[in-house]
Structure 1
Amino acid sequence: MDGPVGPSEPGRRRRRPAISCVLCRRRKLRCDRQKPCSNCARSRNGTCIYEDGLSPVHGKGNATASGSVAAAEQLVTPPDSDACYNSPSTIRADRVANLTELISPGRSSHESATARSENESTLPYHATVAEIESLRRRIRQLEKDLPTSTRGPAQSHSAHPPNPAAPNLAPPNPAPPNPAPPNPASTGKYTELDSRFIGNPTYIVRDTPLSDIGHLVPSSIIHKQRMCGQSYWMTCMFSHIQEILDPTRPRPEMSKVFHGLQRCKSLARVIKAHRRPPWPTPLTLDLPSKDLADELVNCYLRTSESVYRVLHVPSFRRDYEELWMPGSSPDKSVVVQVKLVLALGAAVYDEQFSLRASAIRWVYESNTWLADPAYKSRLNIRHLQNMILLLLAQETVCVKADMVWISAGSLLRMAMFMGLHRDPARLLKVSTRAAEMRRRLWNTILEISVQLSMRAGQTPLLSLDDFDTAPPDNFNDEQLSSDEPVPKPDSEFTQVSIARAMRKTLPLRLAIVKYLNGLGSSATYEETLRYDTELRAATRTLHHSMEIWKSNVGNSLSHYAEKLVIFIMNRYFLALHIPFFNAATHENNRTAYAYSRKVVVEATLKTWCLIFPQSSILSEHDKTTPNDLAQLALNGARFFYTTAFQAVFYIAIELKTQLKEEVSLGPVPLRKDLLSVLQEAKEWSIVSVRNGETNIRGCLLTAMATAYVDGLMRGLNTEELALVLIKAAEETEEQCLPILESMVAEFQAYDMPDSLDPSPESGCSQVLEDWKFSMVDTLFDFGSAQPIDWTTQFEPGYQPDFDSY
């Protein structure tokens, strides 16, 4: 039959071309045929498409690949408003239908018409579910293909945020409810660093930059599954370490250095495994001889107890003497307290730290006993004292020293649970001795929390509004045994004078730690200078007080306490100004931040003189024999050791900056005191390894930094500088390797393989496996470094290396 073709027949063609835009025709609206038309303009729709400009929607022609991709970019971009249509979902469905036909031009008009006819009653979008799913799959493929076709070679990680004007190629389907965590290396906030010498992937984070130099200063770093803020000693050093190591990256000779480093690391694991007793370590009554124990107690009282008041010394001595009485059955809490005191005293007993293994065992025994979950029966002052001593011992003896900040949170909450954050005058009436002990312990807990937060690069999670406990009164311990003691004036030195003086600076130091490590803080140089002014005023007050105490007849101010106060205050100056010191090393900022550069150099020199009192930069009158503070740093106490290494490294950075910024025909004059510090630090770090430090990275980086400065002074090119750095690293490893091997040989004399428990719990199976040196190049291959995955599940038996820094 020859008749007109019905509108439902697939062979029907339009007699005249469509002149309205695609969306107006689909919505049955009058189109003014502008680009964009008035309807699309009112709806803020940028996808006004006419059939004559692209492949026809109902035709059989094929658009080019570039035309399809361009249309896909436009159609998928959601509008800001959909004022001229009923709902956003309908508009989105129209775009889906159009985009399906644009990116699938091979579909015949018959198939399209049939699909629309079958679904008109159920889908107002004029598209089938299959078409939408096909569209989604196609868009995902476009997302993968577009970056490679529109961008050039891969760029390095940038600190700039993504461009908001870039086309949004996200698929229309919603995101999954629990998306995977972002890859740190895939965003502009992270910069991966060379992990060959660090041993772990490390990222600089700039999500909360300083307001004026944020592109130069990291706000935190991600290292060893930890995130540390600006006050962490290595946060601002990593980029300088990478700059020093850069000349060695393409050199094949570095494989020998990596092999030696891995061999030293494997030896260190064996040494630490032999020192580490099995866990749990039951508490025993075994104590050293009485004479040795007396000496260790005296070492503790003249060092740690002179600053961090924990014990009532007369009561402690009474309990201590009862331990040695025949037939005595002491309380286990007393035994724990004595062993922790002995461990702290052992760190300064001799230069070689010969009692290191015993001190580690005492700490493990105490930790095992304190880990008993029967807390209700232990809510007392002695238990709180033991928890404080355990934290101090872990920091000093290097037992999980990097994790002490976590335990400090438990200590703080335990004290608050016992009410120490409220002043005893506001509680039930107690004796003067009980009230003063509560104030002393709370004061020590505050000091430990702030200091560990500074070292760990974390916030103290504490504010001045959380407590109202007053500082301890100026009493000697013997006075607290009387009924109505009278506190001494501030000008008279007592056993609590140092603690009281440091308490006056606590609000300022707490504010500085929060300023440096707080979440979302936006620091400015003006604010840093304000804190610097207040810190200098507080330091002058401390200095004035100590001068008064030393002038009094019969004063008992210990040399250790005096030096420790200076050391702590210098650490805050370094933390405040190091971010701006880094900015001052760039040419555009040398003048603006010259003051910070000067402060950092002065503070590093003072720190080094405290750590190394025989330094040649001191006058003959000021030179002294090794003191307790210098001994703690040499024996690896983490607060002192890491600060010393930080000071030395920034002296090397200062020398490097001076050499690079001076342009002259003759030799560049450098400060001899800074050069001498680098040479002394090389020898000092080797002595530290002889005293039992098992991590040689400090020695290695100190030697390479010294060689780097020396190479710049000699005017070496990059090739020659790389050879000098490699030679310095090899020589350092040749010095350290025999020292570590001799330590292992001593353990082998005691039948080391039998003494090591190869069970997964002890971690020694990994140690014995590392002894084979089977993974020399893999651990330090920069090319294979992977970003940190926060969801990684460790295998059974995994034991992190807490003793390394």
Structure 2
Amino acid sequence: MRSRSKICSYPKPKDGSTAIISASVSSRDDETARKSPPNLANGKDEEQGGSKENESTRCDVWHSGALGSVLVSIPPESRLDLDAASYLPISGSPLRDSGRSSTGDLHSHSNLPTCLDSYPIRGMMIKKRYISPTHWMFSLTLSPHALDWLDEQMKKQGKIWQEMMTCKLLARSIKTKRLLSWTPGRYGTYLPTKGVADALFGAYLRTFETIYRIIHIPTTKRVYNTLWESPGLASPAQVVLLQLCFAVGACFYDDVFSLRPHAHQWIREAENWLESPGKLRMTVFDIQIMCLLHLARQTAHYLRENHVWAVSGALVRAAMCVGLHRDPTRLPTMPVFETEMRRRLWTTIIELVLESSIDAAGPPMFSSDDYDCSLPLNLNDAELGDLGEDGKPTSHDMAELTDTSLQIALGRTFAMRLSVAKYSNGIKVDSSYRETLRLGSDLMAEYRSLMKYLHALNPQPTTFQKRYFELIFSRYIFSLHLHYLPRALKDPAQFHFSRTICIDTALRLTSSFLPLSSSRHNPVLIAMHSILPFESCCCDYERLLICGSAPFRSVPWQAVMVIAVELAATLHEAHSTSPWTGVVSFNQKQNGSKFRNIELLTWLREGAKWTKQRIQAGHHNVKDIVYITVLLAGIEAAMDGTPPEPAMDAKGREILAEAKSILGVTAGTETTTWDTVPDLGDEGLGEVNEFWSMGFSGMEWESFF
């Protein structure tokens, strides 16, 4: 029973269940509410899709054992009565309807509050860490039947939950096995053979270095050759820099990331070198190493997004200490080579900082007023190196592809993307839906202009470069529109554009790396390919999304979740409008959305295979594959007209057994089992806010090396 007081609270459920446990309801005559910070739009602005906050907004904190604490803001003039509906079965949701049979819908008795379908989520607290609603974890709330299933497993702590804990123990064993012995201060102990090093260095140069200009390629190649011809002449700093290039290139070496332990070791050595006492790390060369370390952490390591974001703050401040934020023309005269390298490096730094803020769903913490450094000239590295002290470079025509063309093209869109990041992740902005549409329109205009420019370049950019640009812009589209998706499903007339652009972006993104090569003989995929051929395979791009971490996992994950929620929504809509409802299963109905659902279902199944391939590539976290598998099982059961819960339980057990087998082989043992139910209270594994924080998204469970 809920309290009738205006401010009420309840203790957190200790069994991992889902419930609304606290509410702060304010009114116009409540002095306390008037003094508290505003939270959401008034009723009039809410009708326009806005979120201008005032003192009359009601807020509820919903706690999920699997997800964490979610702050939901309710406009004061809404007709939703949480006091009466909080603990009742959900009705009117696009994914669940208590008035229908459970065989035709997904979770007809969900524990999730109805407000999640209609009102903005203002933030989440995951194990004492705050994230905004633009974070990738928001996408988990789009699939309530899968989230309910996880909460139920946490509450019961039965066989499925024990198997998850077994996978956790195997993951710890794998971590220990991968940690190489090393004496701090000794660099280059685990250098690869010359042949492997050539492959790794070449992979880095043809991928990330073409977009984020960090090194001068001819100069670095000379250092690289010296490392093999005269090892004693290479300084520790040069060894560290080259090893970071190897660490990034290791993501592209093979499909299973066999060099992962070495990549972790090279990152570890770089961190030790930067933190070694008695050394002043404030030179341009040091900043280059910091940039490479940032990329290596995103591709080959297991750092949380908010940790990378926090470290990026140190990167931009160190760069400012060196004066990279000032254009070289406003500094004492320096050679052209140094001038251009400083411009390239600063452009890279602001890109890395901006993108880390998008990954962590945090404000960029700087603006265009904080620097005046210009974009670099359109020059090749060889031309830059041949300039003398007084040489004056001649920039190439912008239609000609050079070593800096892609960096310049991306840099020209920086102001627009910075505006989107500040708008999406700010807490004191006019976040009306009208403003969202305006920014979204400007962003798409920049995007179209960029892609048109890339296709006009001569010679043409590589497939990897084009798809990487698509990946970058997909993040900004999702940050603007994804949190409107539940409201778009509830009110399609008003928020239809957000739903359309999210699913279009998701399909474009998934089709760039799916289907997997193992699915090429699927009859449905063969038919789809015959009608509209798939994009050409790009091995580097596919391996990045299979072996990489951070955004290279979270953005494709968001796309797969959007496809899942679109499939569930169209299933519900077809179920509601079909005259065959209750007579035959969905798969036997003749309706206009059937072929679209087959397409979505095919991509969702491929997404499940992608998560499995990531485990085979060494990502020892099973939550991705468990979540998407039970989500898919629930949808398939609903399409067949059968209850979703038994199918989700069966698929959950099946995929956990398969994942445990893969991890067991990697760890060198398959005997890790529970003889008795573990005492989860000792490690807090069963507590509220724990599940998703335990290494989801490719992050390590708790510790890093």
Contact 2:299/2:552 (8 A) holds in 1: no
TM-superposition CA deviations, 1:145-173 (whole Å, max 9, x none): x989x9999993466633465799xxxxx
How high is the TM-score relative to the length of structure 1?
0.69
Q: Does 1:238 align with 2:140?
A: yes
- Please show how residues 450-469 of structure 1 align to structure 2 within 5 Å: 450-469=354-373
1:38 corresponds to: none
Contact 2:171/2:620 (8 A) holds in 1: yes
1:484 offset after TM fit, Å?
A: 2.3
2:111 corresponds to: none
Q: Does 1:318 align with 2:182?
A: no
TM-superposition CA deviations, 1:599-619 (whole Å, max 9, x none): 111000111112325583556
Structure 2 vs 1, CA of residues 326 and 309 (structure 1 numbering), >3 Å: closer, same or farther? Answer: closer
Q: 2:64 aligns with which of 194, 208, 213?
A: 194
CA distance in 2, matches of 1:332, 1:152: 57
Q: Does 1:507 align with 2:376?
A: no
Q: 2:452 aligns with which of 544, 548, 553?
A: 544
| Alignment RMSD | 3.4
1:191 offset after TM fit, Å?
A: 2.5
Structure 2 stretches of 5 or more lacking a match?
A: 12-18, 33-56, 79-114, 520-524, 581-588, 692-699
Contact 1:459/1:518 (8 A) holds in 2: yes
CA distance in 1, matches of 2:169, 2:135: 27
TM-superposition CA deviations, 1:767-799 (whole Å, max 9, x none): x999998335887887x53799xxxxxxxxxx9
Q: Does 1:743 align with 2:663?
A: no
Instruction: Give the aligned residue type for 1:736.
Output: A
CA distance in 1, matches of 2:481, 2:76: 12
1:429 corresponds to: 333
CA distance in 2, matches of 1:152, 1:399: 36
- Please show how residues 577-656 of structure 1 align to structure 2 within 5 Å: 577-586=481-490, 589-612=491-514, 614=516, 616=525, 621-656=533-568
Structure 2 vs 1, CA of residues 420 and 327 (structure 1 numbering), >3 Å: closer, same or farther? Answer: closer
CA distance in 1, matches of 2:8, 2:439: 46
Structure 2 vs 1, CA of residues 345 and 572 (structure 1 numbering), >3 Å: closer, same or farther? Answer: same
- Please show how residues 687-766 of structure 1 align to structure 2 within 5 Å: 687-716=613-642, 720-745=643-668
Q: Does 1:573 align with 2:499?
A: no
Aligned residue for 1:328, secondary structure, equals: helix
2:702 corresponds to: 801
Contact 1:205/1:220 (8 A) holds in 2: yes
1:162 corresponds to: 26
Q: How many percent of aligned residue pairs carry the same amino acid?
A: 28
Q: 2:607 aligns with which of 660, 678, 681?
A: 681
Contact 1:460/1:514 (8 A) holds in 2: yes
Contact 2:61/2:69 (8 A) holds in 1: yes
CA distance in 2, matches of 1:458, 1:367: 24
2:69 corresponds to: 203
Q: Does 1:256 align with 2:159?
A: yes
Structure 2 vs 1, CA of residues 379 and 211 (structure 1 numbering), >3 Å: closer, same or farther? Answer: farther
CA distance in 2, matches of 1:250, 1:721: 14
CA distance in 2, matches of 1:307, 1:166: 55
CA distance in 2, matches of 1:345, 1:285: 17
CA distance in 1, matches of 2:171, 2:675: 10
Structure 1 stretches of 5 or more lacking a match?
A: 1-145, 169-186, 749-767, 789-798
Structure 2 vs 1, CA of residues 293 and 152 (structure 1 numbering), >3 Å: closer, same or farther? Answer: closer
Q: Does 1:342 align with 2:243?
A: no
Structure 2 vs 1, CA of residues 321 and 705 (structure 1 numbering), >3 Å: closer, same or farther? Answer: same
1:205 offset after TM fit, Å?
A: 2.5
Q: Which has the higher contact order (CA 8 A, sep 6+)?
A: 2
Counting matched residue pairs gives: 595
CA distance in 2, matches of 1:326, 1:771: 57
Structure 2 vs 1, CA of residues 387 and 207 (structure 1 numbering), >3 Å: closer, same or farther? Answer: farther
1:493 offset after TM fit, Å?
A: 0.6
1:266 offset after TM fit, Å?
A: 1.5
Contact 1:274/1:747 (8 A) holds in 2: no
TM-superposition CA deviations, 1:39-58 (whole Å, max 9, x none): xxxxxxxxxxxxxxxxxxxx
Q: Which stretch of the first structure deviates more once superposed, 311-320 or 771-780?
A: 771-780
Contact 1:391/1:404 (8 A) holds in 2: yes
Q: Which stretch of the first structure deviates more once superposed, 314-323 or 252-261?
A: 252-261
TM-superposition CA deviations, 1:432-479 (whole Å, max 9, x none): 110000000000000001111001000110101000000111011011
2:52 corresponds to: none
Structure 2 vs 1, CA of residues 269 and 399 (structure 1 numbering), >3 Å: closer, same or farther? Answer: same
TM-superposition CA deviations, 1:749-768 (whole Å, max 9, x none): xxxxxxxxxxxxxxxxxxx9
Structure 2 vs 1, CA of residues 787 and 612 (structure 1 numbering), >3 Å: closer, same or farther? Answer: closer
Contact 1:285/1:335 (8 A) holds in 2: yes
Structure 2 vs 1, CA of residues 357 and 703 (structure 1 numbering), >3 Å: closer, same or farther? Answer: same
CA distance in 2, matches of 1:409, 1:240: 31
CA distance in 1, matches of 2:437, 2:329: 38
Contact 1:348/1:632 (8 A) holds in 2: yes
- Please show how residues 187-586 of structure 1 align to structure 2 within 5 Å: 189-196=59-66, 198=67, 202-206=68-72, 216-235=119-138, 237-246=139-148, 255-277=158-180, 281-286=184-189, 287-326=191-230, 328-376=232-280, 378-402=281-305, 403-481=307-385, 482=387, 483-549=391-457, 552=458, 555=459, 557-586=461-490
CA distance in 1, matches of 2:215, 2:9: 67
CA distance in 2, matches of 1:283, 1:702: 43
Aligned residue for 2:130, secondary structure, equals: strand
Structure 2 vs 1, CA of residues 532 and 779 (structure 1 numbering), >3 Å: closer, same or farther? Answer: same
Aligned residue for 2:229, secondary structure, equals: coil
Q: Does 1:665 align with 2:565?
A: no
Instruction: Give the aligned residue type for 1:513.
Output: A
Structure 2 vs 1, CA of residues 591 and 461 (structure 1 numbering), >3 Å: closer, same or farther? Answer: same
Contact 1:208/1:519 (8 A) holds in 2: no
CA distance in 1, matches of 2:649, 2:417: 41
1:515 offset after TM fit, Å?
A: 0.5
TM-superposition CA deviations, 1:715-773 (whole Å, max 9, x none): 33xxx32111111111110111110001111799xxxxxxxxxxxxxxxxxxx999998
Instruction: Give the aligned residue type for 2:120.
Output: V
1:74 corresponds to: none
Please identify the structure whose Cα radius of gyration is greater: 1
Structure 2 vs 1, CA of residues 412 and 700 (structure 1 numbering), >3 Å: closer, same or farther? Answer: same
Instruction: Give the aligned residue type for 2:369.
Output: D
CA distance in 1, matches of 2:146, 2:435: 31
Aligned residue for 1:360, secondary structure, equals: helix
How high is the TM-score relative to the length of structure 2?
0.78
Structure 2 vs 1, CA of residues 743 and 503 (structure 1 numbering), >3 Å: closer, same or farther? Answer: same
Structure 2 vs 1, CA of residues 686 and 307 (structure 1 numbering), >3 Å: closer, same or farther? Answer: same
Instruction: Give the aligned residue type for 1:194.
Output: S
TM-superposition CA deviations, 1:270-290 (whole Å, max 9, x none): 212322346884332331111
CA distance in 1, matches of 2:393, 2:413: 27
